[in-house]
A and B are shown apart, each in its own frame.
Chain A
């Protein structure tokens, strides 16, 4: 079993739809949860960063973490064609005072928002 599981999709929605992306994980030591967005032929870019449980909102994006269920979500409101990309969840525990050492990625969900 992989440390992080993510449905690769693809997911196709009309413009304006609410999108829900999810990941599950098995390692209870994970404390830091991130979502990266990757456009075609580009490297991933950090979209959201959350510590421990709870919600975080940034514009049209909301990240949720439920540590009791080992489940994280990313919601996109009023989705736009420019949101079309692959979304990767990532998570880490705390090693050597930093999360950077070992970041575990999901496989990514490919999202297409059509006009």
Chain B
């Protein structure tokens, strides 16, 4: 398996522009997570899905952020409008829950720079 695939790897945009980050989870995984990582705050959970349904979006910083999972193999995280403070590495992770194996598989991340 190719693992969790994220695109793009790098995104540079100007303040006010819309940004869309994409994620393909590992086939068969029923949980999908979006995290944001910065030097100051570390790794923060933004939102997670179970069987394509959003379960907890309390980590989404504000209404400018939205996430969707239209099917089991694809999810997007959208920022509109983007701001310089959104600059961070955004990770997608997936997992298959079983009592004996609770392990998150992370993608390589999207480095977002908002100028």
Contacts and interface: CB of A to CB of B under 8 A. Distances in A.
Do A and B form a real pair? yes
Interface of A: 6, 32, 41-46, 49, 88, 98-103, 105-108
Interface in B61-82: none
B87 interface: no
A44 B56 contact: no
Contacts of A41: 108-109
B67 to A, nearest CB: 16
9 contacts: A32-B102, A42-B108, A43-B4, A43-B91, A43-B108, A46-B103, A99-B102, A100-B48, A100-B97
Contacts of B43: 44, 88, 105, 107-108
Interface of B: 4, 31, 41-45, 48, 55-56, 91, 93, 95, 97, 102-104, 106-109
B55 A101 contact: yes
B106 A49 contact: no
Contacts of A6: 42
Contact of B42 (A46, A99, A103, A106): A106
Contact of B97 (A32, A42, A49, A98): A98
A49 B106 CA distance: 16
Given A43-B91, A44-B43, A98-B97, A103 B108 contact: no
Nearest to B41: A107
Nearest to A104: B45
A114 to B, nearest CB: 23
A102 B107 CA distance: 18
Contact of A100 (B4, B42, B95): B95
A101 B48 contact: yes
Contacts of A46: 103-104
